[in-house]
Structure 1
């Protein structure tokens, strides 16, 4: 080949075309994304195998979303049911007998008539929670328009039942006295009759509320504990050092732990909602379970990121437990699952809605499962959970890089 032809051909190879330069760059980006996804997939499979190899943890998850939900829903009732009550009837009139007959199951057990000298002893021995004392000439004083009184003795050590039962006893006495007077005097009855209709829970059954709220509490607890414990376990066993020599980045490790534990928890929660809440407890679900699952994904991602964050702060499993317990308790107690958010101070409501995803998830779950709300109504709560989750994940990722990778 001549020198002229070699010189002429040199510029062709020295100056590549712009299109050929852009194409490899785009291909490299796609290849990098595929490599990240492949790493996350393989690490997630590793985490799932680790969960499968821990039968104690699987039993804990199964128990938490089955018997724990049922026991909390049926055993922690706040309404007045099956209350023990005695009555001291010193009047022995038609009105006193009607009042005694009006205290019926299931709110009260069968009324037991006792003597006045038995009141203190029976309440001290916890035989009765309530004792009603109707004085002599009670009916006579009512008909004569004179002042009449009934004494109700209450064992207030059982605060919730004492308050609810007291209100029910007051209503029974007032209603029967009013009916007795109107019948004797030939009156037309009460001029105004109030009819109350309770929506979404007509019988005011607390198990309908407690069961769903317990599922939410269990989601919170297990998402934090399982993800944080997975990180602590690897740090204590030294297997986390194996990841340092692998071609993986901190974000891939975090996402794999969140995905693996999140999938297990979400599957258990959905099965609990279907078989325990709807099937076993007979709680009607008005909304879409799929929409609830969709919103739960954002919530589990957020609290799992919080679990990773706590796992980077603690260095041992004991420290993690001591750190996680107060965080979980605060999130549960100030979320609306135990007490209404409206009963808290305004500044505390604002603070919890800013730093915690749990109040948003409680509102989301109640709107979807109780009221049948659609995505057009609950999207602000999903957005709030997503924003809080992004902040938690970013902060946890920074801590993870610093603690585990030393960068």
Structure 2
């Protein structure tokens, strides 16, 4: 191809790129929504959503009123539990569970302390509202640990053993090491996950909206009779929206996550933004596919939701692959967000490099090539 032809291709591309930026700049409502999503929405997700048990409201029914029962109740302390009040009637406790006033009902029967002192098994009841299964599971786990530890210490005390004697007993030394998020800060996981989810949503919606807008206004037919090829029409839209989304990711990182939540960046930012650009190209093909088979913006929006929902839920952010059925796990590997999550967390929190992430980068890029080729092929057929 002659150099003059390259110049003409470049000029057409630059003109189309400028056109896309101008069209996006005129849509102030969309720009405001993009700014909100990459700032306030991520901030709210990182600061307001927690996967840890905190201040679980606990009601106590103590029929024994012994030193042992009071000591056990006293171990249900902050930050996990919050003992709010005592109750006597079972119906009051059940009403509190039903209404959500209490999450945990702790009942100690009469004779609890006496049975412990005599070496007999002492029983207690712990009723937990597991409407939120994650928090309910954590409440049960912490409650079991507290009760088990209290039982061991009570039996040792009954036998006259001291803390030094307990330390001398044989046991398993469980040395735990917490990596990559040593303080187990939920805001790190929630903030990064929400940033990636927002990038996914706009990677599909923005190219779809840009193409459908051309179809609604009738300008796509004018473009098709111009010297531009179908690739020359679609590629500038993808590039323009990629620039906007990557800029939004940069705003989230440097104005929200790093300064407000102290999220570390242990890897290369250049690699992270390069992977983000590759991911936007990958998912933009899905938006072009939605726009190609849609006649108006409402149809494109509904189809985009149909595409986004399985992508988000099969990404592995909320449910790990090991917890999924085998058939669903295979579908998860078709979600580009699954690979982008591994890449983003690997770079930002683990400090992994390109060599460590070669496999997910290759797999994500392969999906992107297939999806973009499919979208371009459908666009050509529609206006052939």
- Offset of residue 368 of structure 1: 1.1
Q: Which residue of 2 aligns with 1:49?
A: 22
- 1:61 maps to 34
TM-aligned CA deviation for residue 126 of structure 1: 2.7
* Alignment pair present for 1:308 and 2:308: no
Kindly state the Cα deviation for residue 116 of structure 1 after the two structures are TM-superposed.
4.0
User: SS of the counterpart of 1:85?
Assistant: strand
CA gap 1:67/1:126 in 2 versus in 1, 3 angstroms:
same
Would you say 1:119 and 2:62 are equivalent positions? no
1:252 matched to which residue of 2?
A: 232
- Report if aligned partners of 2:193, 2:317 keep a CA contact under 8 Å in 1: yes
Is 1:151 the counterpart of 2:125 in the alignment? yes
Aligned residue for 2:357, secondary structure, equals: helix
Partner SS for 2:56? coil
Write out aligned runs for 1:361-400 (5 A).
361-400=340-379
Partner of 1:32: 5
Distance 1:376 1:206 in 2: 28
* Cα deviation code 1:121-170 (max 9, x no counterpart): 33334321101011122122123221211101222333322221111111
Q: Alpha-carbon deviations, 1:56-76, whole Å to 9, x = none?
A: 111111111112112223333
Shift of 1:397: 1.2
1:133 pairs with 96, 100, 107, which one?
107
Over 3 Å counting, the alpha-carbon distance change for 1:344 and 1:156 in structure 2 is: closer
* Structure 2 counterpart of 1:280: 260
- The TM-score normalised by the length of structure 2 is 0.92
Aligned-partner Cα distance in 1 for 2:331–2:101 = 45
The 8 Å contact of residues 93 and 105 in structure 2, kept in 1 or not, is answered as yes
Q: Bigger shift: 202-211 or 317-326?
A: 202-211
- Distance in 2, matches of 1:158 and 1:32, equals 62
Deviation at 1:351, TM superposition (A): 3.6
C-alpha distance 351-282 of structure 1, shift in aligned 2 (>3 A): same
Counterpart in the other structure of 1:296: 276
Unmatched tracts of structure 1, length 5 or more: 1-27
Aligned to 1:19: none
Extract structure 1 runs of 4+ deviating beyond 4 A.
none
After TM superposition, list the pairs within 5 Å mapping 1:83-232 onto structure 2.
83-117=56-90, 118-185=92-159, 186=161, 188-189=165-166, 191-192=170-171, 193-232=173-212
How far apart in 1 are the matches of 2:204 and 2:369? 16
How far has the Cα of 1:363 moved from its partner? Answer: 1.3
Question: Aligned equivalents of 1:285 and 1:177: distance in 2?
Answer: 45
Of residues 121-130 and 254-263 in structure 1, the stretch that sits farther from structure 2 once superposed is 121-130
Question: TM-score by structure 1 length?
Answer: 0.87
Output the aligned Cα RMSD. 1.8
Structure 2: distance between partners of 1:293 and 1:156:
40
1:48-105 CA-to-partner distances (Å, cap 9, x unmatched) read: 1111111111111111111211222333322211211111122223322222222122
- Post-superposition offset of 1:394: 1.4
In structure 2, stretches of 5+ residues that fail to align are: none
